Amino acid sequence: MLNHVIVYGIHSYVGFALCERFINEGIEVVGIYSTPTNPISKNLLHERFMMVGRNALFNKIEGYEGTEAEKSADMIIHCCDDVGEASSVEKDRKQLVISVDLAKKLKKPFVFITYKNKSHDRLRKEHIEFCEQYLSSHLDHYTIFHLPVLFGPFQPITEEIHQFLMKDQREVVLNINEPILFIEDAVDTIWELLGLSEQRKIYALQGEMKQERVSLASMEIQLNPGNSWNEGDDIYLIKNPISVEKGLKAQLEFIKKYREILSP
């Protein structure tokens, strides 16, 4: 049973959503973050902080040098930075070393979460490979979650779906050629699987994969999902995921609400 977790990378999309889930479950969270360099991403992170407010279960820290409170942690979670800039990658690698050392010192379960995106540039791909090789060489016990592209409210502004939905005039169809998953489905599934972790287990989360065309107002999105998982991953098929249409509607409502922040 989890009572206290330390989550590195809460400035990432899945990182903060996971923190919110923990808090709602009554679990104490120490969240470690790096302030985004992009002003829009920075403002959105601050908005999320305000949404949580002053919650006795949530303690956010920029960077991390360790505290006495860490001794009570039941699990260490590292959410891989989803920005892909050289400066953010450097910070994330340093935080990974710290988080792994902490897990070894406390002898607590370690969880690494990242997502696979076909459009990732070389830097991002090399960073994920570095992180997973580091885990393999420094920890005997860990769990990795490979996520597909996540969408929904607060999706990173660099993602193709967000950029498409932000456009006022949509004259073309957006083709998505890889699996996607609504953020709440990803977080709910990670929550369910945390207690089932095995030695060096790698889960690849997957919703229902099928070709379909989604029409919302003046926009159309064509889904042509392929498979982006690594050989050896344990594919975990999510039952009854939120529909793409429902998820996109939620993301559109978010964009309308935060249009002033999201517009450069």
Q: Tell me, what's the pLDDT at 118?
A: 65
**82 belongs to a structural domain:** yes
**109 belongs to a structural domain:** yes
**258 belongs to a structural domain:** no
Nearest to 48 by CA among 163, 155, 186, 149: 155
Q: Tell me, what's the pLDDT at 124?
A: 83
Domain with residue 18: its CATH number is: 3.40.50.720
**DSSP line for the chain:** --SEEEEE-TTSHHHHHHHHHHHHTT-EEEEEE---SSHHHHHHHHHHHHHH-S-TTEEEEES----GGGGG-SEEEEEPPSS--HHHHHHHHHHHHHHHHHHHHHT--EEEEEE--TT--HHHHHHHHHHHHHHHHH-SS-EEEEE-EEESTT--TTSHHHHHHH-S---SPEEE-S-EEEHHHHHHHHHHHGGG--TTEEEEEE-----EEEEETTEEEEE-----PPTT-EEEEPSSPPPHHHHHHHHHHHHHHTHHHH--
**219 belongs to a structural domain:** no
**142 belongs to a structural domain:** yes
**254 belongs to a structural domain:** no
Q: Tell me, what's the pLDDT at 176?
A: 84
pTM of the predicted model, to two decimals? 0.92
**17 belongs to a structural domain:** yes
Q: Tell me, what's the pLDDT at 70?
A: 80
**216 belongs to a structural domain:** no
**Residues spanned by the domain of 28:** 4-152+180-206+232-238
Give pLDDT < 50 ranges for the chain.
none
Q: Tell me, what's the pLDDT at 19?
A: 95
Tally the domains of the chain.
1
Q: What is the pLDDT of residues 242-258, one digit of tens each?
A: 888 899 999 999 999 99
